[in-house]
Amino acid sequence: MNKLTPQSKNFADWYNEIVQLSDLAEYSDVKGCMIIKPYGYALWENIQEEMNKRIKAIGVDNVYMPLFIPESYFKKEAEHVKGFAPEVAWVTHAGGKKLEERLAIRPTSETIMYRTFAKWVHSYRDLPLKVNQWANIVRWEMRTRLFLRTTEFLWQEGHTLHTTEKQADEMVDQALELYKNFVNEFLGIYVLNGIKSQAEKFAGAEYTKAIEGMMKDKKALQMGTSHSLGQNFAKVFGIEFLDQEGKKQTPWPTSWGVSTRMIGGIIMAHGDDKGLVLPPKIAPIQVIIIPIYKNSDEEKKIKNYIKNLEKNFKNIKYKIDWDHTNTPGWKFNQWEMKGVPVRMEVGPKDVQKNQVILARRDTGEKLQVKLVNLAGNINNLLNNIQDNLLKNSENNLKSNIKNYTDYNKYKKDIKKENFFALVNWCESKKCEDQIKYDTKATTRVYAENKSGKCIVCAKETNKQIYLAKAY
Amino acid sequence: MNKLTPQSKNFADWYNEIVQLSDLAEYSDVKGCMIIKPYGYALWENIQEEMNKRIKAIGVDNVYMPLFIPESYFKKEAEHVKGFAPEVAWVTHAGGKKLEERLAIRPTSETIMYRTFAKWVHSYRDLPLKVNQWANIVRWEMRTRLFLRTTEFLWQEGHTLHTTEKQADEMVDQALELYKNFVNEFLGIYVLNGIKSQAEKFAGAEYTKAIEGMMKDKKALQMGTSHSLGQNFAKVFGIEFLDQEGKKQTPWPTSWGVSTRMIGGIIMAHGDDKGLVLPPKIAPIQVIIIPIYKNSDEEKKIKNYIKNLEKNFKNIKYKIDWDHTNTPGWKFNQWEMKGVPVRMEVGPKDVQKNQVILARRDTGEKLQVKLVNLAGNINNLLNNIQDNLLKNSENNLKSNIKNYTDYNKYKKDIKKENFFALVNWCESKKCEDQIKYDTKATTRVYAENKSGKCIVCAKETNKQIYLAKAY
């Protein structure tokens, strides 16, 4: 059954194969549009549920804005349109007629949000305004990859307005912190966070901050972004408020989002040659129970035995695989491939000994566990696995950051293997482009300031940045 | 503040005004597309949460299919394309190029679902296949109305495949039953349910069943539909499975959906001249607490008093209106307009007497309630309100059904007022069209069989159907 290409052989093939073998998603006939299958969509629902709680907890309300953006709005902010126009899908005909004005399918909703906010905001009392929406987004990408880069994807986009730049900056940080904590605590992925370079920022933003994880192939994945938009968008859409002195002011907007791309992160940060490895907190099935029996007499005994255990499993997402058409061995492989964190085996010997066998998906370790406080022990095991995945992810990232001062040495090394490089950089686009041209690596996020010479042009600078090949 | 048109004066104006005054939704600049504001979106989230539980409980998995449907799929089923083509929005350009094939923005997803199912289904073991998606839908409507009929709307669409026609029929009924129970129990709306006429069925269906509620103006609102699709869709998309004898068979599909239209139903089934009246189970705020005080000393006392009460309010969705810029009287009107089921008033006298005042939004009744078991009493009150709304809705519908055998009398009466008429009908399109032409009423759903003469042509028939003007 398992035709999965090993990661070491070809990580890209491994990724494409496992997404489809584990029934997460597949391509549709419309180029680059994906079909998210039940097992994959369950991951997205778990992400949504937890993120929604966290987003609401910081005082953000959910709304829904139209899918369509009139071309005239879309063109109002110059940098924005320049950044997104090449990727837009246009509706030109509807209801049997040619439209007077073309409608963009939203590639992001800043323009329609700010047009609306201009109607909602009048006084400082209307601020801060903090809304979020869960929506589908369309960007006509040339090269697509399931979850990582698809023509249509699902996301969450927060949009806020503030009275001062400082408050907007704080919101940018708060959203990024929320993403970082979520990704750490729920997805078990360790991330770097910081400011993107001007070339890598969101089209129309003042600055962009991002979280960046390291995948198993040592490439970077940007997993969430948070933008300070300066006052440009607010000005072009005419958003104004009267401050406490009755003076007209322009508010400071931010926007921030994460998408179905996160699922690609889960796959690539934890998966191995056997398939997915899902963090327990996000796994649709946390424990797969596999009964092992040779005849209907044993089957009956095991059924009763499991029925008794189940009563205590109310807080565990479990499933029992009673399928008669496959062997236990086949099932082991199948559920390992699907990344279920814990396998519980129950055979006649276990019934005799009042125990079950638990197998960890992350380490492969097998444990004989007595029935006393079984549910509690399973929960502890799930927590251990969750922690272990984060620890592994942290180790993977931290042990693969290398400092470089010699550009030639860096160029030579990055051709041989992937890693994150920490280098001094003069902040010029020229040097950034040179790095990209020479190595295919891009600047990811700024690190702490430290004096040194730009790795390309040797100019003195106190800026350091991470470089990596990225998805 | 309250410029609300009375329902009796102009129900349509009342509706348009209350949707906007109560901050549920507003139009965007794209014709017919709505912006769902936080208070309105919270209603939709509550609907989603409860419906999702119920849908999953009957073994249906959530998926996500693409927004875009290639024109060639869309055209495969003749009746379907005839029904939907006039309302489709078309993407013709994307990524800076003209597309080789136009893409329809989904007006419903049967075609893309069945194209996909053809890849998923091979054997009887793959059936029944039961999936659902929460998605945005676009239908280019000529005349739009917030929530009731908008160019873009949000919905849930279930799609299933079964081995036999009988199983498909059972699924159609199970989905309709789910809708009926949800609408009864959660939205407090009594509904008729039954089969639609051939003219009123879903384009491409074998038959359609629907639930129909009566609004306060005695017009009908179709609030959910469930379709048996025969085998046409399955055949044109080439879905086949091997049965237990190894013989190729065509499965039997069903589809069923409810949409943001339900929110229009909540508004019109319960609202009154003061504004919305929200059923407690769906209300974003169940209890609005209004502190009443004259000075900061009183304010402080009341703050402490409320703080103590709050501790027991964990299972109640409540909000305290501490706004200093408005009077309690203004707040009373405001929150009545927003339909909050219970208002709690807390003034200095209440503090003295160890009580609070509770006011019911549905009846206007005011109660002095002691603090002993206050949370329990509030929950009882919320349940009473929920039950009372359903009872009122049931009374409204049942007391406004009239039997007619004389067509002239019916025509005369329906010109004067709205109601549901129960009549015999010969099932001919000619008589159905005549009724529509003469009265603007349409057939809603079939009732129990009963012999009689068709109200239009006097032909003997045992079919009875409900007639009503509808949204």
Confidence of residue B31 (pLDDT cuts 50, 70, 90): confident
Instruction: Map residue B260 onto helix, strand or coil.
Output: coil
Contact: B66, A93; criterion CB under 8 Å: no
Domain positions in chain A are 11-270, 287-382, 401-468
CA separation for the pair B433, B54 (Å, rounded) = 38
**What is the third-level CATH fold of B11-270?**
BirA Bifunctional Protein; domain 2 (3.30.930)
Indicate the pLDDT class of residue B123, thresholds 50, 70 and 90.
Answer: very high
- Which residues from chain B sit within 8 angstroms of residue A67, using beta carbons? 33, 105, 136, 138, 152
Q: Which of B47, B268, B15 is nearest to B146 (CA)?
A: B15
What ipTM was reported for this prediction? 0.95
pLDDT of residue A270: 98
Residues 406-465 of A with CB under 8 A from B: none
**Strand B97-105, strand B89-94: pairing:** antiparallel
Which tokens sit at B267? 């508004």
pLDDT for the residue numbered B142: 87
Nearest CB to B35 within list A65, A92, A136: A65
A38 CB neighbours in chain B (<8 A) are 61-63, 131
DSSP A79-139: HHHHHHGGG-EEEEEETTEEEEEEEEEPSSSHHHHHHHHHHH--BGGG-SEEEEEEEEEE-
User: What is the distance in angstroms between the Cα of A325 and the nearest Cα belonging to chain B?
Assistant: 11
Quick one: pLDDT at residue A2? 57
Q: Averaged over A447-462, what is the pLDDT?
A: 97
- With pLDDT > 90 as the criterion, what percentage of chain A qualifies? 95
Has residue B161 got a pLDDT over 80? yes
> Under a CB-based contact definition with an 8 Å cutoff, are residues B172 and B226 in contact?
yes
Which positions in chain A touch B138 (Cβ < 8 Å)? 67
| Least-confidence region, from A39-48, A124-133, B5-14, B81-90 | B81-90
Rounded to whole angstroms, what are the CA distances from A190 to A96, A178, A185, A270, A397? 51, 13, 9, 11, 7
**B41 and A64: CB-CB below 8 Å?**
yes
* Tens digits of residue pLDDT in B311-363: 999 999 999 999 999 999 999 999 999 999 999 999 999 999 999 999 999 99
Element (H, E) at A254: strand A252-259
Question: What does the radius of gyration of chain B's CA atoms come to, in whole angstroms?
Answer: 25
Give the model's pLDDT for residue B77.
84
Q: Which residues of B230-247 are buried (b: 16+ CB within 10 A; e: fewer)?
A: bbbbbebbebebeeeeee
Q: What part of A 270-329 touches B (C-beta under 8 Å)?
A: 325
- Asked if B310 and B406 touch (Cβ cutoff 8 Å), the reply is no
Domain A401-468 has CATH 3.30.110.30: yes
Number of Cβ atoms within 10 Å of the Cβ of B144: 19
CATH topology of domain B287-384: Rossmann fold (3.40.50)
Contact flag A30-B91 (C-beta cutoff 8 Å) = no
Average pLDDT, chain A: 96
Residues from chain A contacting residue B88 (CB–CB below 8 Å): 94-95
Please state which CATH number belongs to domain A287-382: 3.40.50.800
Give B65's DSSP letter: -
pLDDT band of A456, cuts 50, 70, 90: very high
At A31 the pLDDT is: 85
What CA–CA distances, in Å, run from B422 to A12, A364, B70, B448? 65, 68, 43, 10
Residue A1 has pLDDT above 60, yes or no: no
Q: Return d(Cα B24, Cα B22) in angstroms, integer.
A: 6
**pLDDT, mean of residues A161-176:** 98
Chain position carrying tokens 């998606």: B133
Nearest alpha-carbon partner for B444 in B229, B235, B219, B114: B219
Cβ atoms of A237 and A208 within 8 Å: the answer is no
CB of A87 less than 8 A from some CB of B? yes
pLDDT value at A319 more than 90: yes
Contact B46, B284 (CB under 8 A): yes
B96 touches chain A (CB under 8 A): yes
d(CA A109, CA A136): 11
Dig out the tokens for A60 from the structure.
């953000």
The pLDDT tens digits for B67-99 are 999 999 888 888 888 889 999 999 999 999 999
Q: What is the pLDDT of residues A11-25, one digit of tens each?
A: 999 999 999 999 999
- Closest residue to A91, CB basis, from B86, B90, B325: B90
pLDDT digits (tens, 9 = 90+) for A348-358: 999 999 999 99
| A35 at B interface, C-beta within 8 A | yes
Q: List chain B residues with CB under 8 Å of A136.
A: 67, 135-136
Secondary structure, 3-state, B362-390: CCCCEEEEECCCHHHHHHHHHHHHHHHHH
* Shortest CA distance from B137: residue in chain A: A67
Look at residue B310 in the predicted model and tell me its pLDDT.
94
Asked if A112 has any chain B CB less than 8 Å from its own CB, the reply is yes
Residues 6+ apart with CB under 8 A from A366: A357, A358, A359, A360
Query: Which of A154, A393, A140, A354 has its CA nearest to residue A268?
Result: A393
pLDDT for res A61: 98
Please tell me the predicted confidence (pLDDT) of residue B169. 98
Q: Is a pLDDT exceeding 90 seen at residue B162?
A: yes
Q: Which residues contact A211 (CB under 8 A, 6 or more apart)?
A: A176, A179, A180, A183, A191, A192, A193, A222, A223, A224
pLDDT tens-place string over residues A41-59: 999 999 999 999 999 999 9
Six-digit token pair at B292?
A: 């009443």
Question: Which of B20, B36, B53, B67 would you mutate first to test chain A, the one with the most A CBs within 10 A?
Answer: B67
If we measure between CA atoms, which residue out of B316, B317, B328 comes closest to residue B290? B328
Q: Which of B26, B67, B140 sits opposite A95 (nearest CB)?
A: B140
Interface of A with B in 226-245 (CB under 8 A): none
Residue range A218-231, pLDDT digits in tens: 999 999 999 999 99
Neighbours of A318 (CB within 10 A): 18
Please tell me the distance from the alpha carbon of residue B398 to that of residue B219, in angstroms, as a whole number: 13
pLDDT band at A78 (very low <50, low <70, confident <90, very high): confident
Average pLDDT value for chain B: 96
Q: What average pLDDT does range B16-24 have in this prediction?
A: 97
Amino acid letter for position B207: Y
Structure confidence by residue, pLDDT tens digits, A266-315: 999 999 999 999 999 999 999 999 999 999 999 999 999 999 999 999 99
Predicted TM-score (pTM) of the model is 0.96
pLDDT at A80: 85
Give the A:B interface size as CB pairs under 8 Å. Answer: 147
Q: What is the DSSP letter of A314?
A: T
Torsion angle of the four alpha carbons A107, A112, A114, A115, in this order, in degrees rounded to the nearest 10: 150
Indicate whether A65 pLDDT > 90: yes
pLDDT at A184: 98
- B90 neighbors A91 (Cβ within 8 angstroms): yes
